[in-house]
Chains A and B, each alone.
Chain A
């Protein structure tokens, strides 16, 4: 018996019960489909079923991921994510991306569910059924969308205020510039960088341009993360000075030096390949 099972496992790839469960499921599904076929109009159901299968993976997902990527490219600060232009490192505001993503996502979800009423696609059938008009739904959707964006903006403003309060020194001393935000309580510790990864090629980043998207973005983020996390003022750290001397053309290093990132905060990640 065990030998038979072992043989089935070898060619089938799983325990025979696995096959039994699947065959039972196909039998039940097939029986239900048979009833639909017998009732007629099965072609349109088949079409709808196929649309449903690819509906998220091949229709919705490409749309929302494209929208998200575009949003991240457009955002002028690094908290937004994917942008790699070095001059954008300088803005240490709290990331705004999720304050846009959430209201936009919620609003689009409402549209996804209620589009027949919002876009008045079913207005005559709705009126015949209920005696009501579909006219208000568009305005309600716009209003709810507006309220959600407003609430998100208020939330962001509160975060900015919170960050500003936390960044002002307790003894009343203020630096000449506002670049003194310390959001460093969640700093990475140990040998890994902010993303939990050992950066694969800091050298590529040091060449100044955008790092290779597939191999080195975590490395790139490492800089952005530390830039947003630990900015302060003081003399150039010796290590950075030395690096700048070695690679005078490197924009990223110049940028780092201009920002005077504290070495023990920033040095965790890029140090590996230098």
Chain B
């Protein structure tokens, strides 16, 4: 515990530990670097300002200069740590040897993502609007009122809109996953570039990458897990919606800052020529200002067009083995991995979300004792036979799930508008539909006036000419054009209509 040697050893061990720690967390270093840089910059600015103010008293100037110098001294050891790369092979620039990395490849992948990801983001936001979250009981995602600026009354026309929107969201999202991975691979050496930051601007820019990289993979992961009912992330809607906004923030900034570089990168080579270049003539790209090209590229084992074909092929494979569950018909047989694809085709029935068994529905619930309650200016209680005795209508409408799958069917039942009339409501502004389900986020749904008044909106009793299967909501369910599947409430027990004021 005494002697300079002991302190020195401890000191050097401490610095070593600090370097190893910093190696694991370049972001922390980035922050420290910002602080150091800011301190140094503050010192510079202070000194410069004081120099300009020549009339200021000499004493005060000296005092401030001393203070500024002390600030600089504080930053010096931090800068010393940063100036040396941490141990480990990843931080040696020579380790990255792929001859295919370069600004052209990164720019091309970036362009594909620039075309695709905004579509995925917009279809996602549209899907949120489709839930009509401004109606009192519909918003699954509390908070952030400013981010709901774009919401509008979701239309019932065209009836296929939600179906196409979600099919695009899920299928395109899956198809872009290989492109995202390839893009991350193409810029991977930049993660380990040293020093971690050149300026406060560079540090902030790197920090903003947390939003785009974390955002895109968070959104991908939560979405992919949710469509398979793998509920390891709680309250999917909140996570996926606000994760999406974080991603959008990152994406917009990244595009603004990198667009000129992407354009230059794309112009550095010709796509047509690359597509004609076999492996034997594949050469590394020219060095670029961003340093994406390897310092000493290895010999290629794959041509550039081969890499593009592999990425594109992977995208087509992921999309192709899934999209059948959204298109339906014979294509459902091709959806080997769509959760409502081939398996549903084999079962020969309509796809289901939430079985009767899963909500604990009993025979007593749906048997003779079943009653439908209508509430308006008067309250009515109807048996299923009484509902069947009302005027029946048949419509062909799709049910489309937020998870991407969908299927059209022919539904027969009573118009919601007729039921509103029965309850004494002539111009309905809102209807709250409640289910026999005792728990769960979607045991009730609020419908807008437009949705209730649409002549195709039914309380359906039959599907495809037969009584509803219990998994599809026997004794009665609603079917509304162009809404998310969960808003077609199953096992309907009560509908409350409200008059427009």
Contact with A along B37-52 (1 / 0, CB 8 A): 1000100110000000
Instruction: Let me know if B224 is at the binding interface, CB within 8 A.
Output: yes
Contact with B along A204-228 (1 / 0, CB 8 A): 0000000000110110011011000
In the complex where A13-B198, A13-B200 touch, is A126 in contact with B221 (Cβ < 8 A)?
no
Name B40's closest neighbour in chain A (CB-CB). Answer: A11
Contact of B143 among A22, A25, A38 (CB under 8 A): A38
B200 near A186 with CB under 8 A, answer no
A11 near B342 with CB under 8 A, answer no
A49 near B177 with CB under 8 A, answer no
Instruction: Let me know if B97 is at the binding interface, CB within 8 A.
Output: yes
Q: Which residues of A contact B202 (CB under 8 A)?
A: 13-14
> Cα distance A48–B127 when bound, in Å?
23
B280 near A32 with CB under 8 A, answer no
Instruction: Let me know if B29 is at the binding interface, CB within 8 A.
Output: no
Contact of A49 among B218, B220, B245 (CB under 8 A): B218
> Cα distance A261–B391 when bound, in Å?
90
A35 near B143 with CB under 8 A, answer yes
A13 near B199 with CB under 8 A, answer yes
A218 near B340 with CB under 8 A, answer no
Instruction: Let me know if B281 is at the binding interface, CB within 8 A.
Output: yes
Q: How far is the CB of A24 from chain B (nearest CB, A)?
A: 8
Contact with B along A33-47 (1 / 0, CB 8 A): 111101101001100
Q: Which residues of B contact A240 (CB under 8 A)?
A: none
B352 near A53 with CB under 8 A, answer no
Contact of B351 among A11, A121, A130 (CB under 8 A): A130
Contact with A along B177-195 (1 / 0, CB 8 A): 1100100110010010000
Contact of B191 among A44, A57, A183 (CB under 8 A): A57
Q: How far is the CB of B371 from chain A (nearest CB, A)?
A: 27
Q: How far is the CB of B287 from chain A (nearest CB, A)?
A: 12
Instruction: Let me know if B301 is at the binding interface, CB within 8 A.
Output: yes
Contact of A117 among B144, B213, B310, B339 (CB under 8 A): B339
Q: How far is the CB of B141 from chain A (nearest CB, A)?
A: 7
Q: How far is the CB of A75 from chain B (nearest CB, A)?
A: 10
B221 near A131 with CB under 8 A, answer no
Q: Restricting to B221-261, which residues have a CB under 8 Å from any CB of A?
A: 221-222, 224-225, 228-231, 233-235, 238-239, 242-243, 245-246, 248-250, 252-253, 256-257
B245 near A32 with CB under 8 A, answer yes
A98 near B306 with CB under 8 A, answer yes
A113 near B299 with CB under 8 A, answer no
A33 near B242 with CB under 8 A, answer yes
Q: Which residues of B contact A221 (CB under 8 A)?
A: 298-299
Q: Which residues of A contact B342 (CB under 8 A)?
A: 136, 140
B238 near A114 with CB under 8 A, answer no
Contact of A22 among B144, B208, B217, B245 (CB under 8 A): B208
Q: Restricting to A166-221, which residues have a CB under 8 Å from any CB of B?
A: 183, 185-187, 194-197, 200, 214-215, 217-218, 221
Q: How far is the CB of B440 from chain A (nearest CB, A)?
A: 11
Q: How far is the CB of A35 from chain B (nearest CB, A)?
A: 3
Contact of A53 among B95, B217, B310, B313 (CB under 8 A): B217
Contact of A110 among B200, B246, B318, B347 (CB under 8 A): B318
Q: Which residues of A contact B146 (CB under 8 A)?
A: 31
Complex interface: stretch among A85-93, A101-109, A242-250: A101-109
B300 near A29 with CB under 8 A, answer no
> Cα distance A224–B280 when bound, in Å?
12
Main secondary structure of the interface of B (DSSP, over half): helix
Q: Which residues of A contact B296 (CB under 8 A)?
A: 197, 200, 214-215, 217-218
Q: Which residues of B contact A36 (CB under 8 A)?
A: 143, 238-239, 242
Instruction: Let me know if A233 is at the binding interface, CB within 8 A.
Output: no
A195 near B284 with CB under 8 A, answer yes
B337 near A131 with CB under 8 A, answer no
> Cα distance A57–B283 when bound, in Å?
26
Contact of B337 among A79, A110, A197 (CB under 8 A): A110
B41 near A11 with CB under 8 A, answer yes
Q: How far is the CB of A227 from chain B (nearest CB, A)?
A: 12
A106 near B250 with CB under 8 A, answer no
A105 near B177 with CB under 8 A, answer no
Q: How far is the CB of B88 from chain A (nearest CB, A)?
A: 12
Q: Restricting to B267-282, which residues have a CB under 8 Å from any CB of A?
A: 278-281
Q: Which residues of B contact A41 (CB under 8 A)?
A: 234-235, 238
Q: Which residues of A contact B340 (CB under 8 A)?
A: 130, 132
Q: Which residues of B contact A224 (CB under 8 A)?
A: 299
> Cα distance A44–B146 when bound, in Å?
24
A136 near B343 with CB under 8 A, answer yes
Q: Which residues of A contact B318 (CB under 8 A)?
A: 109-110, 113
Contact with B along A103-138 (1 / 0, CB 8 A): 001100110011011000110011111111100110
Name B318's closest neighbour in chain A (CB-CB). Answer: A113
Complex interface: stretch among B117-125, B353-361, B419-427: B353-361
**Residue from A28, A29, A102 whose CB has the most chain B CB atoms within 10 Å:** A29
Instruction: Let me know if B365 is at the binding interface, CB within 8 A.
Output: no
Instruction: Let me know if B99 is at the binding interface, CB within 8 A.
Output: yes
B94 near A214 with CB under 8 A, answer yes
Instruction: Let me know if A81 is at the binding interface, CB within 8 A.
Output: yes
Name B97's closest neighbour in chain A (CB-CB). Answer: A217
A186 near B228 with CB under 8 A, answer no
A106 near B314 with CB under 8 A, answer yes
Q: Which residues of A contact B278 (CB under 8 A)?
A: 186
A25 near B249 with CB under 8 A, answer yes
Contact with A along B294-337 (1 / 0, CB 8 A): 00111111100010001001100110010000000000000011
A28 near B243 with CB under 8 A, answer no
Instruction: Let me know if B210 is at the binding interface, CB within 8 A.
Output: yes
B353 near A35 with CB under 8 A, answer no
> Cα distance A34–B246 when bound, in Å?
11
In the complex where A57-B191, A217-B299 touch, is A129 in contact with B217 (Cβ < 8 A)?
no
Q: How far is the CB of B25 from chain A (nearest CB, A)?
A: 10
Instruction: Let me know if A257 is at the binding interface, CB within 8 A.
Output: no
Contact of B99 among A21, A132, A195 (CB under 8 A): A195
Instruction: Let me know if B211 is at the binding interface, CB within 8 A.
Output: yes
B181 near A60 with CB under 8 A, answer yes
In the complex where A32-B147, A195-B284 touch, is A39 in contact with B230 (Cβ < 8 A)?
no
Name A124's closest neighbour in chain B (CB-CB). Answer: B229
Name B191's closest neighbour in chain A (CB-CB). Answer: A57
B284 near A53 with CB under 8 A, answer no
Instruction: Let me know if B463 is at the binding interface, CB within 8 A.
Output: no
Q: Restricting to A43-79, which residues have a CB under 8 Å from any CB of B?
A: 44-45, 48-53, 55-57, 60-61, 72, 79
Q: List 20 A-B contacts (CB under 8 A).
A: A12-B41, A13-B199, A13-B202, A19-B201, A24-B253, A29-B250, A34-B143, A35-B142, A48-B218, A55-B217, A56-B217, A57-B184, A98-B301, A130-B343, A131-B352, A195-B283, A200-B296, A215-B296, A221-B298, A225-B299
Given contacts A56-B181, A98-B306, A129-B352, 6 further A-B contacts (CB under 8 A): A29-B211, A110-B321, A117-B339, A130-B344, A195-B298, A217-B296
The 10 closest A-B pairs by CB, nearest first: A13-B199, A186-B280, A35-B143, A221-B299, A35-B144, A14-B201, A128-B358, A13-B201, A116-B230, A32-B245
